[in-house]
Amino acid sequence: MNKNIIQVFEHQLLKVNGDNKFDERHFNALKNYGYKTGEKYYSVGHKRIKFSNYVGVIQVKNLTIEILPKADSNDDNAKAKSKWHDALISMLQECKLIKLSSISNAKLKLKSASILDLYYEAFLTEAERIVRQGLVKSYRNVSENLNKIKGKINFTKHTLKNYLHKEKFFVEHKVYDENNKFNQILLKALITLEKLSNNPQYLIRIKRLLLDFENVREKNVTSSWFKNLKYGRNSERYKYAVTLSKLIILKYSPDLKGGKEDVLAIMFDMNMLYENYIYRKLKALQRDSMIPITRVRGQNRRPFWETRGLRADIVIETESDNFVIDTKWKVLKSKTPSDDDLKQMFVYNLHYDTDLSILLYPKTTLSTNGKKPFRNLKFQDKNCQLAFTDLFDTDGQLEKRLGHRIYDELLKDEIEPI
């Protein structure tokens, strides 16, 4: 692992001048960034940062901080960090938040590369692919003062600007070139990356790529650019590069109050990541002809009260039954759900017309595989189960057939035979 990388777990404290490379310069930059973002990713204390439920990576000055998920034990050693580092990358890949297939020898880099390096590598690989294929060209409108007529004359501006210069014409015409939004976005990401990267190999590749963008003007790229971007037949190949550019450009925060402090944060809500990961693993069951599941739906919204809706994490449908799964990324202190969670699941039972709703937690050293029922005393047919599932296989890798494991442990006995 790179010597300028610190690995911590979610909800962990990072103190100035502790047993790491985190010093006053890094703390001051993160303090300003934290205040600017409403302490979304971490809270700021006296010379310490306490991370929240967000995981991912933060680059501050020359230091990279990886914030890893944690849901198995209290171990805080290199082995545990390596395990969850690899697990986080695999979860991001499964949820389509990074494509390792676009990176050469990605599997070899998995153990040594930081999460940030994988994003940088993926972006540069995509940008190089686009340059090899040729930057997309498009028509754009140009207004300029020329010595010849080209296109049409704008008589209003021509009169204002050229009453003393009879030899000039203020004209409007179209130009077909590379100076369009797609290339301007890539250029901005390259310029941003050039400021941030401390990797000499990346800097060589960035400078080489910038030579191909000489005819593209640098623009102030904002979030509205990505909302209004429309892809066509020639620009479809830019999609993944633009997605990575968006991460780099919009998550970069230069010129914070108190001085110029370069901070880049690529962070993910671990609750949402866990939910999306479980959904995708269960979705794979639809393709198994041996399993009687007809449909798996994520974030299914139902009308609840007037304009308000009710949204379950995952709904599993069979020919005769519905099941609701609500994912919870946290460690329970006891094997009992909160009253609020039980009430929420009972409402799911009613609104989704199901006899069974499941609160699904990751398995920890305090929990066991399988399920624990909680029955409603008045509505005997409306049941909630507290369940735990191990995300890892016996080799300490993320379980590839996790959906099948959840089905076998929690659903198989509940589904009526057809």
CA distance 332 to 174: 64
- Return all residues near 106 (Cβ < 8 A) that are at least 6 apart: 100, 118
73-121 tens-digit pLDDT:
666 788 889 899 999 999 999 998 888 766 655 444 555 578 888 899 9
Phi, psi of 309 (to 5 degrees): -120, 165
- Which bin fits 47, alpha (ψ -120 to 50), beta or left (φ > 0)? left
The secondary element (H helix, E strand) that includes residue 276 is: helix 270-283
| Local structure of 226: helix, strand or coil | helix
8 Å CB contact between 245 and 209? no
Same domain? For 292 and 360 the reply is: yes
Q: Which domain holds residue 304?
A: 288-411
The segments of the chain whose pLDDT lies below 50 read 1, 106-108, 255-259, 304, 376-379
Same domain? For 65 and 205 the reply is: yes
281 in any annotated domain: no
8 Å CB contact between 82 and 134? no
- In the block, tokens 């399920």 appear at 371
- In the block, tokens 């099941």 appear at 323
Same domain? For 69 and 185 the reply is: yes
pLDDT value at residue 205: 96
CA distance 105 to 117: 13
pLDDT value at residue 112: 56
CATH of the domain at 350: 3.40.1350
Q: Out of 241, 270, 299, pick the residue that ends a domain.
A: 270
Nearest to 241 by CA among 148, 128, 93: 128
Same domain? For 97 and 114 the reply is: yes
pLDDT value at residue 315: 92
CA distance 240 to 129: 11
Burial group, residue 111, by CB count within 10 angstroms (0-12, 13-18, 19+)? exposed
Q: Out of 207, 240, 270, pick the residue that ends a domain.
A: 270
Long-range contacts of 99-105 (CB under 8 A, 24+ apart): 99/240, 102/126, 102/240
232 in any annotated domain: yes
pLDDT value at residue 307: 55
Mark out the alpha helices in 134-221 (DSSP H runs): 155-162, 181-196, 200-210
